[in-house]
Structure 1
Amino acid sequence: MTDTLNLSDTRTWLPLDGLAPGFDAAKAELTDDLAGRTFTTVDERGAQTAYRFDADAVVWESGAESGRDDVEVIEVDEALYYAQYTPAAHPDTAVTLILDLRSGYALTVVSALGSAEPGRTAVQMSFTPARIAELEAHGEAPAPTDELIGRRVLWVYSTVHAYEHVYLSPHWYSWHCLAGPEQGLADTDENTVWRVRPGIYVFTWREKVIPCGSVTIADHRDQKALRAHGVLFGADESNSGATHFTFGAHGRLLSNTVHPLEYDPARPLER
């Protein structure tokens, strides 16, 4: 990176495809633990989606729709699984399924690629907590949380790629590239955080400059040895379709800001 590079010129920022090479170096090994098993998620409205897993594919059925798609499954923690797939019938969407076989709860995040417009990022996400019909539900269901607010974390994705995250509020976080093809770039984007287990969070973001978003599941229990798994999903370089890739990261807590109660970013907004 040279001193003459204009970091503020967002026209020069890499498309999502340009970030991909080598970004998956820290990805965890896939597992076939779920092969041969079927799980049915039931949300608060009673809507059901059935998933039957093969070694490298998932057969799903939701209402009148069904499909069989390639899937990647990672064991995040004991009996806690992250599954990622893109429905062939809906190539502009990506589905993240979190299955907690210990608690009997699930969380589905659907990322959909559209067009950015004022007040709306190109990638939009929906979050659906559910119970797993085949299991007895106990403990806490996944829920939105503000527990990450104030933390500054270093995430290393490969020997080339490193970023820091600062979790600012229930709506915003800042990222800063410390190493890699985006070195020196930084921005503040939308985020949404859910807690799935104590110390384990589904952290998502949606960028406004590059039409993309990410869904990650991050284990923050050991502040010196954080671990994350996730997907980046968004428009390809030609802007004519969607692209995605999965990745992993190792991290550590750099610092933690504790705000006075009267300035707590998680307090209700005043109008």
Structure 2
Amino acid sequence: MTRHSTVAGREIVFTNSYGSRVVHRFGATILDWSYEPGPGDPHPALSGRDDYEAFEIADGLVYTQFHHQVDVPDVAVSLVLDFDHGRSLAVVSTIEDRARVRHTFLPGLIEGLATSGTEPAPTAALLGRRVRWTYGDGSRYEHVHVEPNANSWRCVSGPSAGLTGTDECTTYELRPEIYVLAAREKAAPSASVTIADHRDLAALRAYGAVFGLDRTGAQPTQHTFGAAGELLGHTATTV
């Protein structure tokens, strides 16, 4: 997965599943955005400016990540733009009551583009799939989707070697074998969104972000990451 410049210099507008209109104006590294709520949308009208990162997942499929540090600092957005199919998916990560992070999934349609294919939707396609991921810092983790909404993990090597856990996890399919995994920790106000490319099972790729409170429990913080993976096999699961 490589850093991508497709969105730089472009204004991209989409209407989400609330019927709300969202405008993004991408500079080289800075994003200006505005949110106009549709009928029945509980969110207020908002606008702001943030740093962003953008990465190409596949031809015509770009993942962007940004944290609303000034305007709504308890919110980060993982936005996937599918230019080939005229569709978008925003995963909004929100720190609630300083105790946990909630994910909201908002599919949308990109203005000015023809719509085709299927809308991003929840899937159980990864159920039982056992994957070993190696992250940019050299840490290695094994993950197994033990239930449709649960992901178990074990740190094989790195600073957290030996630790294990099971987190709530929601999986959406963007395109065949390309997924969004949104995991929420139970014991800490922290959550992750990962864009995982499983098209080549011998050379999986992923990029994403962890969002939550820092170690002091006072400040929201975001960290992006990249990973390479391999499919180890399948394991017994419960449904």
- Is TM-score (shorter-chain normalized) higher than 0.5? yes
Change (3 A) 1:236 1:116: closer
Distance 1:222 1:29 in 2: 16
Residue 158 of structure 1: CA displacement? 3.3
Residue 159 of structure 1: CA displacement? 5.7
> Which runs of 5 or more residues in structure 2 are unaligned?
37-44
Change (3 A) 1:258 1:181: closer
- Note if contact 1:32-1:56 (Cα within 8 Å) is conserved in structure 2: no
Task: Please tell me whether residue 59 in structure 1 is matched to residue 32 in structure 2.
Answer: yes
- Give 1:80's match in structure 2, choosing from 61, 80, 98: 61
Equivalent residue number for residue 34 of structure 1? 7
Equivalent residue number for residue 50 of structure 2? 69
TM-score between both structures, scaled by the size of structure 1: 0.81
Distance 2:209 2:51 in 1: 14
- One-letter amino acid matched to 1:61: S
Structure scoring higher RCO (CA < 8 A, sep ≥ 6) equals: 1
- Note if contact 1:39-1:134 (Cα within 8 Å) is conserved in structure 2: no
Distance 2:154 2:207 in 1: 19
- One-letter amino acid matched to 1:96: S
Aligned counterparts, 1:63-212, within 5 A: 63=36, 64-87=45-68, 88-115=70-97, 122-158=100-136, 160-212=138-190
The alignment partner of 2:182 has SS state of strand
Q: Deviations over 1:130-169 (max 9, x none)?
A: 1111211111111110100010100000363000000011
TM-score between both structures, scaled by the size of structure 2: 0.92
Change (3 A) 1:51 1:238: same
Distance 2:214 2:58 in 1: 32
- Note if contact 1:92-1:112 (Cα within 8 Å) is conserved in structure 2: yes
Distance 1:41 1:216 in 2: 22
Distance 2:48 2:155 in 1: 38
Distance 2:222 2:34 in 1: 23
Change (3 A) 1:159 1:98: closer
Q: CA RMSD in A?
A: 1.5
- Note if contact 2:4-2:54 (Cα within 8 Å) is conserved in structure 1: yes
Equivalent residue number for residue 17 of structure 1? none
Equivalent residue number for residue 18 of structure 1? none
The structure whose residues are more often strand, as a share, is 2
Aligned counterparts, 1:226-237, within 5 A: 226-237=204-215
Q: Which range is displaced more, 202-211 or 186-195?
A: 202-211
Equivalent residue number for residue 13 of structure 1? none
Equivalent residue number for residue 40 of structure 2? none
- One-letter amino acid matched to 2:94: A
- One-letter amino acid matched to 2:212: G
Identity %: 43
- Note if contact 1:226-1:251 (Cα within 8 Å) is conserved in structure 2: yes
How many residue pairs end up in the alignment? 230
The list of structure 1 runs, each at least 4 consecutive aligned residues, that deviate by more than 4 angstroms after superposition, is none
Task: Please tell me whether residue 250 in structure 1 is matched to residue 232 in structure 2.
Answer: no
Q: Deviations over 1:68-101 (max 9, x none)?
A: 1111000111110000011121111111100000
Equivalent residue number for residue 41 of structure 2? none
> Which runs of 5 or more residues in structure 1 are unaligned?
1-27, 266-271
Residue 211 of structure 1: CA displacement? 2.1
